[in-house]
Structure 1
């Protein structure tokens, strides 16, 4: 009887052997058809063989895919192609993936519930569209997407980035309907790097003040109500910043003191009613450069300097700027010019008091025009107001009425007179001409030459006569002086 029961049990076991070896479910009664072993648990895990490195290396003929835990290395190893490979599981403590605003919950708590205070030196990867409930304090972190068209930060009615620290922002679209992108005020030492981004559909691009460096590169600005104001920044470096004609207001405003402003490439398409660049607050800039930035459209390209002597008719910037852009007048020391003249003059030049062969300034009231980086606050004088020393061409013509009575003809010498800034002047003998006049004679003279001028240097036209005896009422009736 016992033998029959055992035989029956053996038959049942053999009959079910195919199912036993085809699938095994542990913790479940319905293993997945694709799995030879399907384990289900909420309280336990799988424990692989644990061994030392020496024991692992002594495993005979390990199969590809063999998995063990090495207790010496504190890591999993798997065998493949005759090599034991370590499974890397290093934790990155300076990286955070942000796919939802809830991923910034810790940062919101750190900011007291009113600001997302980011961790310093941490890379925040923005993935998708993130709708912010508060501004971000970038706190010297790195905020970046992978695709500026798909990775977007949105905040309605407020600023996206606020605070007093810098950081890096890259490859994102930023939009703040009814709000602004930036509201940053530093201490003068901070650095902001902003690259490969789009600013769109915002109430304002915002303001950045008291930073050490602001660097923007490859930025598109589209459909914003107004632009950005830079205030008291050490170095503003703008490269390939593109303002489209869907923007309104004033695109860029500069206020205060700057070490360097450099704006290169990109473009400004300024629609009617808008302004491209505003420097009407007369910012103090050690060196300003705007190069290869086309300005176009029906709006105001530049709202220029207003301070006395800071700008010139038809030009926009002061002497510390170099501007070479399609749509704007060329502004540089190399384009310096000045012109003054007088006609119908009746003022006598007093050669008698000066004495024979002693240069004296030609007298008369002159009118100055076509001044660029030059000034003429005194009659018969041009002052060079540029930034760098350079050479100039001088052309001068004059008409002399030798109203005199003398037994002999008089010889006049006319010359350029250079007055270095803050120093006594002297005749430039290389730029002079000589003319002999009979009594009551009228004639012309011409001066042509090259003179080197430093900022603040001035030029005048002087004359002398070899004989001051008898009656001498010489008048230079006409005088024209061109500096270029």
Structure 2
């Protein structure tokens, strides 16, 4: 019969044997009798998990001399934290997209209809209707089997040369909503990359959709497509390569195009503006236009209700019948491309800005001939009306009666200069006359200059110069008034006026 003492000794012996075995094997298995050879501790279960120490942030940071790699669960931050003694600092252990709640990773090995099953159902089985405000990360080349409606979601890659959305047949992005596309290659091999028409209207100010495309490559597509009726369209640092036709922008409240690179491998018309725009800004980048291609088409005379700016865009390439810019057919000036809402300063095409507005009219009669003007001593100046010849016109017009009208969009200071030559219209009508520049029919006192003539053969010439603030449709004319002598008529034999 064994005594209690004997049993106690047997238990101690068994414990000693177990501890000796653990020390020899350096492995512990919980839930398994065959711990993995690579592990010190192998915990196996299909019904329970591993529960780490849980504590508040204050308790975690109060741990004395934490070991490198020490892990706890922070109940304040709701995250696992591990200690990095090399800094030293506590670091968060992140999950998908660094803790984002609305996030999906799509890999090239995924079956798209499976990973986007709910989006396919939302799209009625014919398209993928993405989840609003959700980030879809693209990893590798994704062969898109149906069109995608962004629905104000975000699609992003990490390397635009590696992360791609390719649609072999049909359009890639469709619908009525915007969203954000970043760091991707986009291609619609036999369709359009974009076929998006937003909701609302620019006329009523009810547009709501925004589309942002940044740091992307768009290439090898049948058409870049059409984007219409958006509140904001922002494209920045996008390369266009080997597309059969370009993109149409229509009825967009604000459109910003920054550093777009259109290579000569593209065909057709690269960019077309149609309809109405509140603001257009195209900055930087280049359009390599060759042969019969067109870089920018505004021949549909798009209406700009605010301002339009094109700055530092390089137009280059050898043309045959093509054009860098297919210009406005209404509202432009000979030799220029745009109407007066545009401020253009880009290499390869004419500069067009209100600051460059210039106009000139002149009249030059044969000796002995001229235009007669009646001048009396009533104190009222008389306009010199002559059939003028207009030259060098940009954002000015002349009405063939001696009037220069400023047609620029912005108020600016206009400088002017010129001269007039005259004689007395009949013998005995000698005198001193005052010549003025008038704005909108009102003489500008500081421009007055005096001239004298004594006979039909006593030719006089006076200079005209000055500057004046002008708004759109303000106009300049030349007036004459009597000062002293025998008031009557003078004959202007030549007249020139230049404004700039």
1:330–1:45 distance in 2 versus 1, CA, 3 Å: same
1:80–1:376 distance in 2 versus 1, CA, 3 Å: closer
1:460–1:31 distance in 2 versus 1, CA, 3 Å: same
Give the TM-score normalised by the residue count of structure 1: 0.82
Give yes or no for the alignment of 1:301 onto 2:305: no
Query: Is the 8 Å Cα contact of residues 51 and 71 (structure 1) preserved in structure 2?
Result: no
1:76–1:343 distance in 2 versus 1, CA, 3 Å: closer
Give the corresponding residue for 1:96: 104
- 262, 272, 287: which is aligned to 2:291? 272
Query: Is the 8 Å Cα contact of residues 417 and 464 (structure 2) preserved in structure 1?
Result: yes
* Aligned-partner Cα distance in 2 for 1:381–1:227: 44
* Aligned-partner Cα distance in 2 for 1:151–1:165: 23
- 432, 444, 448: which is aligned to 2:465? 448
Deviates further, 125-134 or 86-95: 86-95
CA positional deviation for 1:451? 1.9
Give yes or no for the alignment of 1:136 onto 2:157: no
* Aligned-partner Cα distance in 2 for 1:213–1:171: 20
1:290–1:31 distance in 2 versus 1, CA, 3 Å: same
Query: Is the 8 Å Cα contact of residues 98 and 125 (structure 1) preserved in structure 2?
Result: yes
Give yes or no for the alignment of 1:324 onto 2:345: yes
Give the corresponding residue for 2:435: 414
Give yes or no for the alignment of 1:118 onto 2:122: no
Query: Is the 8 Å Cα contact of residues 404 and 473 (structure 1) preserved in structure 2?
Result: yes
CA positional deviation for 1:189? 1.5
Give the corresponding residue for 2:475: 458
1:378–1:355 distance in 2 versus 1, CA, 3 Å: farther
Give yes or no for the alignment of 1:313 onto 2:325: no
Give the corresponding residue for 1:375: 397
1:176–1:78 distance in 2 versus 1, CA, 3 Å: closer
Give the corresponding residue for 2:196: 184
| Cα offsets for 1:400-434 (capped at 9, x unmatched) | 1323132x622222211110xxxxx2111211221
CA positional deviation for 1:106? 2.5
Give the corresponding residue for 1:438: 454
1:75–1:92 distance in 2 versus 1, CA, 3 Å: closer
Give yes or no for the alignment of 1:174 onto 2:186: yes
Q: How does 1:162-311 map to 2 (within 5 A)?
A: 162-187=174-199, 188-285=207-304, 286-299=306-319, 300-307=323-330, 310-311=331-332
CA positional deviation for 1:29? 10
| Cα offsets for 1:239-262 (capped at 9, x unmatched) | 111111111111111111111000
CA positional deviation for 1:25? 9.1
SS of the counterpart of 2:360?
Answer: strand
* Aligned-partner Cα distance in 2 for 1:289–1:200: 27
Give the corresponding residue for 2:117: 105
Give the corresponding residue for 1:34: 38
* Aligned-partner Cα distance in 2 for 1:372–1:80: 69
Give the corresponding residue for 2:499: 483
SS of the counterpart of 1:149?
Answer: coil
Give the TM-score normalised by the residue count of structure 2: 0.80
CA positional deviation for 1:156? 2.1
1:146–1:74 distance in 2 versus 1, CA, 3 Å: closer
* Aligned-partner Cα distance in 1 for 2:337–2:354: 14
Query: Is the 8 Å Cα contact of residues 49 and 69 (structure 1) preserved in structure 2?
Result: no
Stretches of structure 2 lacking an aligned partner (at least 5 in a row) = 1-16, 61-65, 200-206
Stretches of structure 1 lacking an aligned partner (at least 5 in a row) = 1-13, 420-424
1:344–1:49 distance in 2 versus 1, CA, 3 Å: closer
1:316–1:264 distance in 2 versus 1, CA, 3 Å: same
1:86–1:321 distance in 2 versus 1, CA, 3 Å: closer
* Aligned-partner Cα distance in 1 for 2:373–2:82: 106
